[in-house]
Chain A
Amino acid sequence: MTVAGMGTQNRIVAGILLALPAAYLVAFYAYPIAQLAYLSFRDVEPAYGTNDFVGLANFREIFAMPGGWGHILRSFLYTGICVSASFALGLAFALLTAAAEEAFPAQVSTLLRLIVVTPMIFIPAAAGVMWSFAYTEHYGWVNHLLALLGLPTYPWLVSGAAFYLVMLTDIWGWTPFMYLILLAGLQSLPREPLEAARVDGAGTWQSFWQVVLPMLRPVILIALTIKTLDTYRAFDYLWIMTQGGPGTSSTTLTIATYKTAFMELRLGQASAYGLATMIFPLAVVNLFLLLQQRRAA
């Protein structure tokens, strides 16, 4: 039925039903983003009562300030390494589980699932505290192991290794997510193409590259998109374990935005950070939609 064919009462009901999501979008998306954009062109510092239009100065400062480019590059490095490693590990564990299901009794794959999924039960904040503790020089088990091996102990989170150790924690915490999605994808694949490939003489690697991976592509795409968006905005592990330090060596765009807004109380500058930070996720989402459209076509 077309709108023209609707009765007046139905049109009113349809209008109300459409108005609700529209109001939701305006209130929770359009208005905050507009406000963010508005503030990003102003020098807003409640501490000093300033609220002046400064044009693009806040955006220029992101690149001009010492370490500005470092924040941007670190965000991409963090995202790139964490997403790749979580994906590789998640896929490896998923394949291992699938293989274990075929080769061993069900208890083995259940145990494997349990082991791999365990990090997911931790709240990221609690996991951050737990790992921070693990890396301390005196109490941490990491240094305790090193000491047992006769190696020197070190306060790892106040060293140049801090950023990479946070990445390690992120990978530890997020591999189960990738694992579960990919395992579900693997288990839902039709078995016939794989069996046909085997009959045709394809080896394990050939079957994986030529059959499994192409069939798994839509699932991989979704998993990578979600994980990329989430990792790029990562805050919890970074803040709890290093607060962006030592120095600014683990300060990403999200940490810089938080510090600028809530420690330096420079709301205009923080809004510029917030707006600049949105560019990459928008690009990822659009790329995802484009790939989906192509696939559908």
Chain B
Amino acid sequence: MNTCSKARRGRIGFRFVALGLVVSLLPLMGASLALAGATIPGTFPPLKAGKPYNGITITVPSQKGWASFKPAVDLTPKFEEMTGIKVNYDMIPGSEIPSKQLLEVSQGTGAYSVVQQHGISFGAFFRYLQPMDERIKEVWGSVEKFEDSFFPAQQGVKGKDGKHYFIPFHANVQIGYYRRALFEDAKEKAAFKAKHGYDLAPPTTIKQVEDIAAFFTRPAQNMYGLSANWGGGQGFGAFMHYYYAAGHDQLGADQRPTMKAGKGREDAVRIARWMQEAVYKQKFTNPDSVNFQTGQVSDYFLSGAAAMAFGWLSDYWIFMQNPENTKQVGPVGAFNFPSFTGSDSGGYSSWWMMGIPKDSKQPDAAWEYIKWVLNKSPQVEMAAGQLPPMKQLAYETAVKPGGVNPPALYDAFKASRILIQVPEMSQQPRTKGIDLYTALMANKLTPEQFVDEYAAEIDRTLERAGYYKK
């Protein structure tokens, strides 16, 4: 019995030790399990707590000298501190943003952990990116909830399979600016009313734009009525903005260019002619506008040489709100540039997005970074030069009192749409479109030639890509 008891005691003892080990490890296992689902308090989209990717380095390409993304770059050490992920930025000149990243991902070099693309060049990237829907569901609960929290423009950047490959982090739209002091001057108001029969105020129709611009065009004072970003690619973008705001997309339901015939062509020709004549016939737009990018418009406007301006001016809004910078022109106001047809369909939206390449070596750490960029900080800091693509944040920064952006920006943006509807529109038709547009604005093409040749270029490209096969 003694022998038996000894063996039994041994077995019981072993069981106690094992049980003790299990019991003592339980809190640890529980903690680990809890940690796996834990998030850093105060973050949304939530970042994972416990630094699961500590020590990983990710490479993020971005645009060199991009003022409105700078706050995110400046705040990156906070992200690094929270997550332990090291971010290495590769700053690329703006004109090379699509080609540099596309060459890397198409060659599968794994050089970039994420890609950063604009809504005019994203189409080429789908085949090289990971779908985001599962990650989206983890954060927002469902894809529908995710879509609902962003502006409708996000619908335009989904893949052909209906999945999301890009998460937007920066939005913008072109609007108008005006010199409040001029518009509120009693003498100017009286003179304007006497001439046109209605009150001088930010324009709500194209006819009013023309009246006001002509009224303030005063060569003797070296002042034009309107300055605009009508140079090169930005000018082509301005034309497309007016065309979209007139209620058209580039492609119809049959994937044919809408400006090929009918109302689309009629409106496109009208807009092109208006832009051309604003410079050369009506002469209320300064001739340099046909070579201006937004930064030059801003400089020109702030020098007092224009009463109104048009462009991606929210990039400069905060700068314009500083009285030190507006000594020559006084306070600056903003307005939603009127539609040529009275449509309220919105213009074309600038939509910067991030995606994770299939060859990304650190996709999960990259996802943490993307989520962080969408957080209230840095989005609020970035809002000084953009509109957050999430509706609620955009509302807070542009419409609520004390917001850093003008309400006109929110108004103009809410219905705006993505310019590129099928991937093939990103490169060749756009490049040719810019060439044609610059010829138009140098009076080397008629508005009809410009519109017809651009429509033909779209047709050619999409036909070649197999869109019109029966």
Contact = CB atoms under 8 A, between A and B. Distances in A.
A201 to B, nearest CB: 57
Contacts of A162: 442
A245 B232 CA distance: 9
Contact of B103 (A46, A138, A155, A246): A46
A263 B431 contact: yes
Contacts of B443: 159
A109 interface: no
Interface in B124-172: 124, 127
A259 interface: yes
Contacts of A84: none
Given A47-B124, A245-B438, A247-B439, A155 B426 contact: no
Given A155-B288, A158-B290, A265-B427, A244 B435 contact: yes
A154 B438 CA distance: 15
Nearest to B227: A138
Contacts of B103: 46
A264 interface: yes
Interface string A262-276: 111110000000000
For chain A, the bracket of interface size reads: 20 to 34
Contacts of B435: 244-245, 247-248, 251
Contact of A154 (B231, B287, B427, B444): B287
Nearest to A261: B99
B39 interface: no
A249 B444 contact: yes
B277 to A, nearest CB: 15
Given A47-B124, A47-B426, A159 B286 contact: no
Interface in A227-255: 243-249, 251
Contacts of B98: 265
Given A158-B442, A262-B96, A266-B428, A46 B290 contact: no
A94 interface: no
Contacts of B95: 262-263
Interface residues of B, number: 36
Nearest to B232: A243
B442 A47 contact: no
A193 interface: no
Contacts of B439: 245-249
Interface in B275-313: 286-288, 290-291, 300, 305
Nearest to B127: A49
Chain A CB within 10 A, most for which of B95, B426, B428: B428
Interface in A109-163: 136-139, 153-155, 157-160, 162
A29 interface: no
Chain B CB within 10 A, most for which of A47, A139, A264: A47
Nearest to B230: A158
A238 B269 CA distance: 30
Contacts of B403: none
Contacts of B431: 259, 263-264
Interface string B31-59: 00000000000000000000000000000
Interface string A56-93: 00000000000000000000000000000000000000
Contacts of A157: 291
B124 A247 contact: no
Contacts of A263: 95, 99, 427, 431
A247 B287 contact: no
Given A138-B305, A247-B439, A264 B428 contact: yes
Contact of B124 (A159, A245, A251, A265): A265
Chain B CB within 10 A, most for which of A48, A154, A159, A247: A247
Interface string A13-55: 0000000000000000000000000000000001111000000
B218 to A, nearest CB: 14
A43 B444 CA distance: 32
A246 B434 CA distance: 9
B106 interface: yes
DSSP majority for the A interface?
A: loop
A264 B287 contact: no
Given A46-B102, A46-B124, A160-B444, A247 B438 contact: yes
Contacts of A259: 431
Contacts of A137: 286-288
Chain A CB within 10 A, most for which of B300, B424, B431, B438: B438
Contact of B438 (A47, A48, A158, A262): A158
Chain B CB within 10 A, most for which of A46, A138, A264: A138
Given A137-B286, A138-B286, A246 B428 contact: no
Contacts of A248: 435, 439
Nearest to B106: A46
B123 interface: yes
A247 B436 CA distance: 5
B423 A247 contact: no
Contacts of A244: 435
A46 B98 CA distance: 11
A266 B426 CA distance: 12
Given A137-B286, A138-B288, A263-B431, A48 B124 contact: yes
B438 A246 contact: yes
B1 to A, nearest CB: 81
Given A47-B124, A155-B288, A248-B439, A264 B444 contact: no
Contacts of A49: 106, 127
Nearest to A132: B291
B300 A138 contact: yes
A246 B441 contact: yes
A262 B441 contact: no
A136 B442 CA distance: 14
A265 B426 CA distance: 10
B60 interface: no
B235 to A, nearest CB: 10
B18 interface: no
Interface of B: 95-96, 98-99, 102-103, 106-107, 123-124, 127, 231-232, 286-288, 290-291, 300, 305, 423-424, 426-428, 431, 435-436, 438-439, 441-445, 465
Across the A-B interface, the 5 shortest Cβ-Cβ residue pairs: A247-B439, A47-B124, A246-B442, A46-B106, A245-B438
Given A49-B106, A158-B442, 20 more contacts: A46-B124, A47-B427, A48-B127, A136-B291, A138-B288, A138-B305, A158-B231, A158-B287, A158-B290, A159-B442, A245-B442, A247-B435, A247-B436, A247-B438, A248-B435, A249-B439, A249-B442, A261-B99, A263-B99, A265-B427
29 contacts: A46-B103, A47-B426, A47-B427, A48-B424, A49-B106, A136-B288, A138-B286, A139-B288, A154-B287, A155-B287, A155-B288, A155-B291, A158-B287, A158-B291, A158-B441, A158-B442, A160-B442, A243-B232, A244-B435, A245-B232, A245-B438, A245-B439, A246-B441, A246-B442, A247-B435, A249-B442, A251-B435, A263-B431, A265-B427
